[in-house]
């Protein structure tokens, strides 16, 4: 995590953003609207990616983010309706994410599971459990629209007589990566987390349980993904549909790969990916542009951007013990 | 030989335990929402395997799954996590529609040409992920999922624009009667022989040829493979291409070999989840193409029986997918059979 390398990536991020902005204004799209939707789309990606960075730093890999997104986006709405508040819904989403993460951590650490297979199993489980829950909770197949008052709505900001919407969760999604970065680099727990991923024997010899550190980080990581999932339904779309996640869990994984497990870079990646999604949303509603570019190609933008950026970045160095269960000799 | 037999028995036992865990957990999920699991499962299994028509229908469901499972299994054999069967199946289905629905060919040649074209398109869609993996080290889980979503929108676009059936915008042009495989019974067609044959061919490729040996060596022990002079790039490429052919075939089965529609809906409803179900089928079949055939029949039965469960016990048929996920998680835990055995001994 050398400073010069980090600066290089920040500069690339800023330049890419400026080019995008320029293209947007050329095409006659509203820049305001683009920033708003870009930030909304960034939020779940950033939360999940940072959580997964912490998780992978400790040595466990969870490719089931997509599944956690779907389950928590549904459970968040269920609890919001039960408790009568969108905010509690977000908290419940976060808590149910944590619960899923705890179970996943126990399976991986003490069951010594193959983490990629278990994570994929979690995705398949959610693929079925999601529609099943929607049907069981609301007796309607595949979708549910909840009362608008239960939205954890973004607030209106006034910047130089322009109105601009911003969700408090977005603010949290920007602060949490910074806190995570400080946790990893400036605290004792952070050293233990990184050592659990890099050299678990050393952690064990120092008298700290590798398993506990890993389960804790699995829980924290999934809790952040859960917050992101509940935000998608409660803070962004205002509905739950069974396809709500649309591959975002995997885009968050791509952000993790991009970041090389640095939470700040994960935020940058989430911003770029979120932005490309915001671009797609903005094009779809912009008169004059939407008639020229077919809707279906616009929908491909986030996935194509992710693929291109991955091709440019290539493979990165990951902790040595990542994905391997720790067995004491 | 007996050691091999014991190992084979153990892997079948592990699958059995995982399936049992999935079914019990599914029952618990039903109980949590006050459904009757016993009634639901009786409806499911008698619906799926209790009659000849049910069995034929279950086999029809199994037909695409046994080949989409090959995609994942061949990946795992080369230590890849290729989850791109989903998108490759969409593209394969489009390929089957292009040749099967818009080209005029004589009866015997037409289904073969359409199937081969579909398989080639599936392989072509797997190529970018293979190239990115070999050339840039991009993790295949992320790249294949992105390609799946691009395939989804591309396929929808093609159905809505160039390949739509005139007067019926909700679906593509159906395969011409000359391109259709003969119906055996219910919605099962002769294309099941093609998929079973493909599984057998892949088994021969993996265990009886040099390239298959190289592929498995790279997957089992990359260090040894390097010393033996095996090319990991070639192994990765072959694994992705064979997987793409298999997934393309899986997509084609739904067009050329599945009455009554013989076409693709714009929602992709009839090819959706073929790839993801294939992952579970491959894992239950212990990543062996022959094991995959049996696992596909089991899972095809769950899919078909799920409908009976829905209208006899009121349980949403999607629960089958959740059971599937639990089976996969259980199969990820290597210790599961060992733990059970130890408990019985103590």
Decide if B207 is inside a domain: yes
* Partner-chain contact A247 B145, CB within 8 Å: yes
Q: Which region, left, alpha or beta, applies to residue B220 given φ > 0 means left and ψ of -120 to 50 means alpha?
A: alpha
Decide if B6 is inside a domain: no
Average confidence (pLDDT) over A226-254: 89
Handedness of CA A263, A264, A266, A270 (dihedral sign): positive
Decide if B131 is inside a domain: yes
Rounded distance between C-alpha atoms, residue A83 and residue A230, angstroms: 14
The chain A residue lying nearest B83, using CA atoms, is A120
**Model ipTM over 0.95:** no
Range of the domain at B203: 57-313
- Please say whether the beta carbons of A111 and B333 come within 8 A: yes
**Residue A272, Cβ neighbours under 10 Å: how many?**
24
Cα of B328 to nearest chain A Cα, Å: 5
Nearest by CB to residue B150, choosing from A304, A313, A315, is A304
Cα R_g (chain B), whole angstroms: 20
Decide if B76 is inside a domain: yes
Average confidence (pLDDT) over B116-135: 94
CATH code: domain of residue B140: 1.10.3470
Q: Is residue A45 predicted with pLDDT exceeding 90?
A: yes
pLDDT of residue A276: 84
Average confidence (pLDDT) over A149-177: 83
pLDDT of residue B95: 95
Q: Is residue A3 predicted with pLDDT exceeding 60?
A: no
The backbone torsions φ and ψ at residue A214, rounded to the nearest 5 degrees and listed phi first, read -70, -45
Chain B residues near residue A71 by CB distance under 8 angstroms: none
**Residue B307, Cβ neighbours under 10 Å: how many?**
16
- Please say whether the beta carbons of B304 and B294 come within 8 A: no
Best of A136, A141, A318, A322 to disrupt the B interface (most B CBs within 10 Å) is: A136
The chain A residue lying nearest B32, using CA atoms, is A136
Chain B residues near residue A127 by CB distance under 8 angstroms: 273, 276, 318, 321-322, 325
In chain B, how many domains are there? 1
Rounded distance between C-alpha atoms, residue A167 and residue A274, angstroms: 14
Q: Is residue B47 predicted with pLDDT exceeding 60?
A: yes
* Partner-chain contact B141 A253, CB within 8 Å: yes
> A289 preceded by cis ω (within 30°)?
no
* Partner-chain contact B143 A296, CB within 8 Å: no
Nearest by CB to residue A310, choosing from B132, B160, B283, is B132
Decide if B332 is inside a domain: no
Decide if B196 is inside a domain: yes
Cα of B30 to nearest chain A Cα, Å: 10
Decide if B343 is inside a domain: no
Q: What is the pTM of this model?
A: 0.88
Q: Is residue B23 predicted with pLDDT exceeding 60?
A: yes
Nearest by CB to residue A132, choosing from B143, B318, B331, is B318
Decide if B139 is inside a domain: yes
């Amino acid at each position: 995590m050398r400073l010069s390398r980090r600066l290089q990536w920040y500069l690339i991020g800023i330049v890419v953003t400026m080019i995008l902005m320029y293209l947007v204004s050329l095409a006659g799209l509203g820049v305001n609207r683009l920033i708003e939707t870009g930030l909304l789309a960034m939020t779940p990606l950033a939360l999940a990616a940072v959580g997964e960075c912490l998780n992978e730093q400790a040595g466990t890999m969870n490719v089931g983010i997509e599944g956690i997104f779907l389950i928590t986006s549904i459970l968040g709405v269920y609890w919001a309706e039960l408790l009568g508040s969108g905010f509690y819904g977000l908290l419940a989403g976060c808590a149910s994410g944590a619960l899923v993460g705890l179970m996943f951590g126990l399976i991986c650490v003490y069951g010594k599971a193959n983490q990629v297979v278990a994570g994929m199993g979690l995705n398949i489980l959610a693929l079925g459990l999601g529609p099943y829950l929607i049907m069981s909770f609301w007796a309607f197949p595949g979708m549910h629209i909840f009362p608008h008052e239960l939205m954890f709505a973004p607030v209106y900001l006034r910047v130089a007589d322009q109105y601009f919407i911003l969700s408090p969760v977005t603010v949290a999604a920007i602060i949490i990566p910074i806190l995570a970065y400080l946790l990893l680099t400036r605290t004792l727990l952070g050293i233990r987390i990184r050592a659990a991923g890099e050299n678990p024997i050393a952690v064990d010899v120092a008298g700290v349980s590798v398993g506990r550190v890993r389960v804790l980080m699995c829980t924290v990581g999934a809790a952040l993904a859960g917050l992101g999932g509940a935000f998608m339904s409660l803070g962004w779309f205002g509905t739950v549909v069974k396809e709500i996640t649309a591959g975002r869990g995997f885009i968050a994984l791509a952000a993790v790969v991009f970041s090389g497990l640095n939470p700040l870079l994960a935020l940058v990646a989430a911003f770029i990916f979120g932005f490309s999604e915001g671009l797609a949303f903005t094009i779809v509603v912009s008169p004059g542009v939407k008639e020229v570019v077919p809707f279906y190609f616009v929908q491909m933008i986030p996935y194509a951007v992710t693929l291109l950026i991955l091709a440019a970045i290539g493979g990165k160095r990951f902790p040595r013990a990542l994905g391997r269960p720790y067995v004491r000799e | 030989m007996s050691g091999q037999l014991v190992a084979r028995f153990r892997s079948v036992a592990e699958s059995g335990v995982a399936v049992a865990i999935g079914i019990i957990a599914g029952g618990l999920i039903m109980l949590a929402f006050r459904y009757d699991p016993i009634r639901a499962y009786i409806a499911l299994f008698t619906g799926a395997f209790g009659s000849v028509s049910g069995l034929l229908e279950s086999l029809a469901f199994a037909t695409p799954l046994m080949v989409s499972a090959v995609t994942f299994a061949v990946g795992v054999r080369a230590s890849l996590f290729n989850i791109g069967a989903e998108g490759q199946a969409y593209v394969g289905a489009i390929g089957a529609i292009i040749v099967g629905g818009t080209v005029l060919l004589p009866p015997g040649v037409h289904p073969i040409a359409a199937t081969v074209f579909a398989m080639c398109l599936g392989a072509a869609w797997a190529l970018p992920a293979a190239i990115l993996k070999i050339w840039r080290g991009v993790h295949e889980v992320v790249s294949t999922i992105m390609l799946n979503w691009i395939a989804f929108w591309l396929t929808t676009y093609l159905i809505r624009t160039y390949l739509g059936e005139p007067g019926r915008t909700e679906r593509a042009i159906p395969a011409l009667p000359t391109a259709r495989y003969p119906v055996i019974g219910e919605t099962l067609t002769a294309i099941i022989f093609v998929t079973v044959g493909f599984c057998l061919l892949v088994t021969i490729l993996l265990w009886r040829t040099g390239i298959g040996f190289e592929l498995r060596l790279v997957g089992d022990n990359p260090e040894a493979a390097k010393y033996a002079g095996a090319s990991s790039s070639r192994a990765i490429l072959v694994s992705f291409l064979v997987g793409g052919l298999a997934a393309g075939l899986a997509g084609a089965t739904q067009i050329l070999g599945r009455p009554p529609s013989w076409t693709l809906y714009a929602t992709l409803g009839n090819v959706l989840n073929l790839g993801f179900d294939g992952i579970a089928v491959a894992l239950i079949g212990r990543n062996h193409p022959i094991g995959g055939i049996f696992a596909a029949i089991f899972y095809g039965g769950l899919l078909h029986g799920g409908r009976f469960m829905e209208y006899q016990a009121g349980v949403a048929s999607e629960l089958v997918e959740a059971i599937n996920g639990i089976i996969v998680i259980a199969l990820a835990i290597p210790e599961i059979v060992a733990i059970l055995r130890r408990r019985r001994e103590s």
